[in-house]
Structure 1
Amino acid sequence: MANVTLNTPPSSGAYKLKKRAYLDPTIFNSTVLSLSLAGVTSATGTVATATSGSQSLSGDMDQLHLRTNVANAFSLSGISFSAGGKKYVSKASGDLQVDLSPVTGIGTSVGTLTPSQGEVTLNAWVPGSSPAVSDWRGVASPPVNGAFTPYNTYAVVFRLATAPIRTGSFSVLGTMADGTTFNYSADSDGIINAPRVKGRINYTTGVVKLVGVSPTAPAGVIKQDLSWLNIPGVVDGYIDLIRQETLRYNAVAFTYLPLDADLLGIDPVRLPSDGKVPVFREGELAVVGHTGLTAPATAIVGTPISAGRTRLSRLRLLGNDGHVIQTGYTEDLEAGTATPTDVTGWSQPVRMEHRIEDYALIREAQIDGTITFTRPLTHNYPLGSFVSSALRAGDLKARMSLMFDQATWNNVTFSDVPVGDAAPGTYNIGGNPMVLTNAGAITERWALRFKTTQTFDIVGEHVGVIGEGSINTVTAPINPATGVPYFTLAVAGWGGGWGIGNIVRFNTIGAMFPFWLIRTVQQGPEAAADYSFLTIVRGDVDNPIA
């Protein structure tokens, strides 16, 4: 330990050292006393000027200080170390203890810890032991605020406690790292374009993006790209640090009154207060797509109409009257073309509506609306593209669920069990199975109602009477939506003995996934033109059998 120099004592001539040592005042006249700490039991005074003199003394150290350098408002905590064969531990209160009980965790107090100074003061230690300290442990904690906080950042993204937010009601205030305070408000478009902060708020979701900037060029700093903020006129800028612990905001949010379940049409108990539910979640599927429209052009037989891009998911032709052209052309989705084969009756000129898509698994859905997929997208999607949620239906296949016959029918009730007596005739479904296709079959209850001993009406519970059939010909009513039969019954399956009024009852299940579409129109003035939506059924595998 280095020597310590003591200043000249006061005019009284008496000098007190650690409350225990007193020196003869005669040796202090115009002297400087040096105290050597090489030994702890005595000290020697040396006269630097005038007559030399010395006096032995006995001194006891009553405190030992261990200091760790902490700066920039850091603080020290969680101290532990070993000295003299004992383990020293600091408590949360700052008390330094040894001989901690393994049961209570409480030991003997031997000192204190001053966190802000990083200093340990020992009031007691093992006499005669080595002063060496080993196994020193501690945590230097940064300040949570102030100029030296490590929580400064160039960009901040956060979501307000509630949403949606009233347009023009959002303002944010805080402090830059250099101490400059700010208080800025967003305009009606949600944009903040101020000298020290650039950013925007989504009034619908309550998500806020802020970037700190400097109005002048700091030394050694170059401009950074800020075009991703989509602020008109802002392309780049000199970014600067924001003390994020100082950020505060003010906003006016909308709240919603719960509606009666009878008025709403569904039970709102499991819905959020605003009636909105998450559309995109991690691990779910989504469809990224963009729909384009070509310029009007006169269609010529044999001349392909090009979409200008390849690998389309679908296309269709629209006449000048706005109606969809159903026939008279062939399509090549890979090449992105449609080739007219017969333009008779077309409303010229025509346009092509074409669409590209990617079907992918969602890896992450962030609060700012960013969606990340588990694989790269295979198309370049222009501005105006959409991400749609996808409802997985699993494996689907058209099938027949039941068939029976009965003697009479009330022409109204489609019961799934026979009512009354069985009919004299029957259809041999085991030997002549019904043929169903995924394209033609629908989920429907059917009745074949005999009007003679050989002919019958084909009646559906929802589609009504769609035609008639005979036991002497193949029964295959056409589904007008797809151009293929709803079902097909063979002639060989019919037995004899049918009478007027007999019926054959059966149910078919289509390869379509049932789901509900619900739209709520709130009270108030008209806010926009007509709305529309489109649902598309997608299949993962092309099945030539279907």
Structure 2
Amino acid sequence: MTISRLDLKVFKPELLGSSNEAGGQRTKNAVQSGLLNELFSAISDIDHAQSSIDIVKAFPALDTPDTSTLIDAHVFISEPPIDPLVNVFMIESAALDDESRMTDMKEIIESSVTAGELIREGGPGFLVNQNSFSSDYLQSSYRFNDRDYWKTTYLQVGQVICITVEYPGIENVAWPRKTHFCKVTRTSIVPGAVGTVVFEPPIPFATPEPGLQINGQSKCTRLRLSNTASPLKFHGVTKLTAAASGVSLAVGATQLSLLPAITTLAPKPGNTITGGSDNGDATVSQVIRKVISQPSAQGTYSYTFTTADLLIDTDVVTAVSTDPYGVFGGSSALVQSITVGTGNVTVTLRPDVRFAYNPTVSLYYVSAYKYSIYSSASAFPANKQLTVGSIKARAVFADSNYVPQDVFENVNSGIGKLYDTTELLATIDYFTGVVTKQTVSRGDFTLTYSGLVESTAAAAAGDTTAKFALSVANPLLESFYVQVERISDHAIISASSDNQGVITGSGISGTIVDGLVELLFTNPVDLTTLRYDITDQLRQLPPAEIYGLNPLRIPNDGIVDMFRRWGTVALSHTQVQQVTGSVGTVFTIRENAQFVNITDANGASLWTTNNDHFTVNKVAGTVTINSDFTGFTAPFVLSDTIMELGLVSSFSGNSVVLAKPLAREYPVGTTLASVQILGDLQARVGSVRDMTAWANNWDLDGDPATGNVNAVDYPFEVKNTTAVNEDWVLIMTSASAFRCVGRRLGQIATGDTLNDFAPINPLTNSPYFIIRSGAWGGGWQQGEAIRFATFAASNPIMLLRNVQVGHSQITTDKAVLSFFGNES
């Protein structure tokens, strides 16, 4: 039969709302066209004051009384809410099925963060509401070549870890298996010393002590790192900020906020860029690296930088580093090679590097004008000091049973402290280069080192430029204020930034771009005296108890990509005009509009398959009125929508690049939406097979039964209007009787081989499927079974609406979900 727009429907689930039982199977209750908000509850004053999250499930379906096929069915949000505080988008997951309830959907959303690598088994026995543990538990031992070694895991503030209760066998009632995700908020861990790790939120349950045995196993409390690998796809919608007709689209955003959040301000005054102190004492500085940047391009992996003052690194001291600035996951791990030439450095990135917004590639290097390289094999130079953070050392023990160790510098101490993975080995005076060895358990040792040295006084010439990264992740640009001492007369000069990152002041100018500060000084300055104030904007997510979603299990603070490379997008633009029910009147629309409709004041559509009220000529771009619109409520609105699909080749902060140019031009304000592809929608029956016994194992078939069923001449019957996605088993209770069990639905009916079997779906009052009596052969034995699956002409989708904190003047708002496909 011919498929019309009336056959494409979005059905509601068994239960709407926010309870744990919400969701479930598809019903025959369709969402009225133009009333997607039927799925969501109204936004209340509390929602605006506190923020809110609503998760709903729906079933786009081909609703025909046969098995017609809708090819490559797809859905997208063609119009976002007008209210900027409201976001509506779809979350795609293979784990979402017809039976999924609210608890399942929340677990799907949290599935991106899971318990990961084991730090240590035999963790402490935690008490209820405990929020700290000794750093001793970050150490674990292993044995190699008949010797014991210790490994220490170092945690960072903000890192998510897991506390789990794990053991084999049947779950213990007193100590159920649980996992607690928490974020490290403080860590006083120093190599060779004992500290404390503080985390939040506190653990809400107790865990067993290391010596307590459960099912024969001790050390059941375990500390684990967390894994972040999202299996989800997010489908959002944005607007074009400029007209588009080619492959490059300027858009409002390419990311969306999964969770509502509030922003708090945290002032951070007195920051330095050299590690100096404020007490007037002689100070040592950390390495100041110069930065050269150049624009990058997708598909370009080799970049050459001219560096007349590059310090040639012959003693394996860190003199050169790189940052593919603006690259996703920007890190030296993305660098394939660095080649130092004469007066230049060539950086080659890995071929899989994908650039983010405002992409540049930057070279950070140590200037030969300021530094030189010193090795402890030489006499310490006069009027020089070591530079914090540059020391590379090696300890060789007199006892050959101990292998040589790399030595690490503690860069946060005025007196340098040198550690290996086990203990403090020595201290170092940055001004004299003198090493004072400590007494250690492994006996005497020889320590050699190399590092950068610089003048003990500010360079006479001073510096006329500075480039450094801000010490906060989300700076409030207008809060930036900088002071520095001028070389010539020791006067303090200052400057501040506006909200666009433009820095102006007395003798200072510059910019702040993506957290990187570039300063230009009219006269040379002493950078060791530079101090700046900045305010961090902290994004705070709602606690898990408010919405039942744990923010620690949402990666990237809930900021997710709404597009993806190789993802399909839909551009659509709708224009409207008011019309009247005057027979014969012709209205002009855009040629070859994809979708044309007339709706009344209540949103009811006047479109019919017989063109009772209007006729559309898409090629000519006209709509002819055929009736006086009796039975509908004025005013009437004629809308025409131009639309096309595209493939994303790349995207960044405010740009999406398509694989092919657009077929026509789209104006500013056109919606660009990520498309969720549902696939071909058609009710059908999977392979029918029999087995000698049913052991309640849905993942494994058994040996063939003695009886037989003829599903070729008497195929099992389904319809698009009634079939569901389910695995079925018919279990013989005698030679002719059986019971029917669904994997998710449980037992739904009993039947026999003598009559047609048509079990009724109570949600639709129609059969799930029909098995004709002629399909049954003889020879069936009690306990034998028949298995098959049915597939619905629908797939479930999950929509999420969040409301950010704030007050809105918009009293009526909606989002539009578009559902398309092609006839077979």
**Fold in common (TM above 0.5):** no
**Which has more radius of gyration?**
1
Please identify which structure carries the higher strand content. Answer: 2
TM-score (norm 2): 0.30
**TM-score, length of structure 1 as denominator length:** 0.42
